[in-house]
């Protein structure tokens, strides 16, 4: 626990700096995505341009902030929508059981049996460049883990004495779900949101890197890495190092925070049991 505390503080600090960086830098130093200035193109990192410039003369320091902002926004929206869908299906399947539980779990198995990356590629390729298509494709492939965990928690809770007492008192099922099942599901949903964010960031970056996500001129961590793929052969190492470094740092920090929250929830559940 003593070792985990400094790492947790470091992770929170990285996330705070990343959010401030992604929010404030594009506002204070706006860069036009389609503006080209070859007089300052391919400049290495300096005091004027901390992350250097790309082949079009755009400030990479600002472009990385813009890319991280859109990547975090897509990832957070995906994680939140996936959690909502997973909680709805998981709670209803565990609470009602019967035919609905069997259908919901077969749906979960069907989605899990499909390669998630190929499914997202298929959906996004039909609506190339659409942020909404990226979010929908990621939500459709990432809600199942939350639904399965929430269902198992609800099934275990159905046999608890206080739930059976509420049923004997004649309380409506919807009231039992709201009072007893939903609070348990919310803890798992919060864990799922935090753990899905880095996963969604990597998926969005992969889609944009492959050219089926955001358009090439729009900054995201994936499009920046795709641009760096060609420039690295010309010696422009900064175009790869800085976007990749930011991507790794942010995903590691969010993952560490999610694991810590997961351990906390498990401890609280064991104490309550």
Question: What is residue 265's predicted lDDT score, i.e. its pLDDT?
Answer: 62
Question: What is residue 4's predicted lDDT score, i.e. its pLDDT?
Answer: 57
The superfamily CATH assigns to domain 3-28+57-272 is: MetI-like (1.10.3720.10)
Residue boundaries of the structural domains of the chain: 3-28+57-272
Interatomic CA distance for residues 24 and 66, integer angstroms: 10
* Average pLDDT per block of 10 residues along the chain, 273 residues long: 69 89 88 80 90 89 91 90 91 85 90 84 83 90 88 80 71 73 78 83 84 81 85 86 90 81 62 49
Question: What is residue 269's predicted lDDT score, i.e. its pLDDT?
Answer: 55
Q: Dihedrals φ, ψ of 35, to 5°?
A: -80, 135
């Amino acid at each position: 626990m003593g070792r985990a505390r400094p790492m947790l503080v470091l992770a929170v600090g990285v996330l705070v700096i990343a959010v401030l960086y992604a929010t404030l830098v594009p506002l204070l130093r706006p860069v036009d995505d389609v503006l080209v200035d070859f007089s300052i193109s391919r400049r290495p990192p300096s005091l004027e341009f901390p992350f250097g410039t790309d082949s079009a003369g755009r400030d990479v320091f600002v472009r990385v902030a813009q890319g991280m902002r859109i990547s975090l926004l897509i990832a957070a929206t995906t994680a939140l929508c996936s959690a909502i869908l997973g909680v709805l299906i998981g709670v209803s399947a565990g609470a009602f059981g019967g035919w609905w539980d069997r259908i919901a779990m077969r749906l979960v198995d069907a989605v899990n049996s499909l390669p998630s990356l190929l499914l997202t590629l298929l959906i996004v390729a039909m609506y190339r460049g659409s942020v909404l298509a990226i979010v929908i494709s990621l939500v459709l492939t990432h809600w199942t883990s939350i639904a399965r965990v929430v269902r198992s928690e609800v099934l275990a809770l159905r046999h608890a004495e206080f739930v059976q007492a509420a049923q004997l008192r004649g309380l409506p099922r919807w009231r039992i779900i709201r009072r007893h099942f939903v609070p348990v599901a919310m803890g798992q949903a919060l864990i799922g949101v935090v753990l899905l964010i880095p996963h969604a960031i990597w998926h969005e970056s992969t889609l944009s890197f492959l050219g089926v996500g955001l358009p090439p001129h729009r900054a995201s961590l994936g499009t920046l890495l795709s641009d760096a793929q060609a420039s690295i052969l010309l010696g422009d190492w900064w175009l790869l190092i800085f976007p990749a470094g930011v991507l790794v740092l942010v995903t590691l920090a969010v993952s560490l925070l999610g694991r810590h929250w997961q351990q906390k929830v498990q401890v609280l559940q064991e104490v309550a049991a």
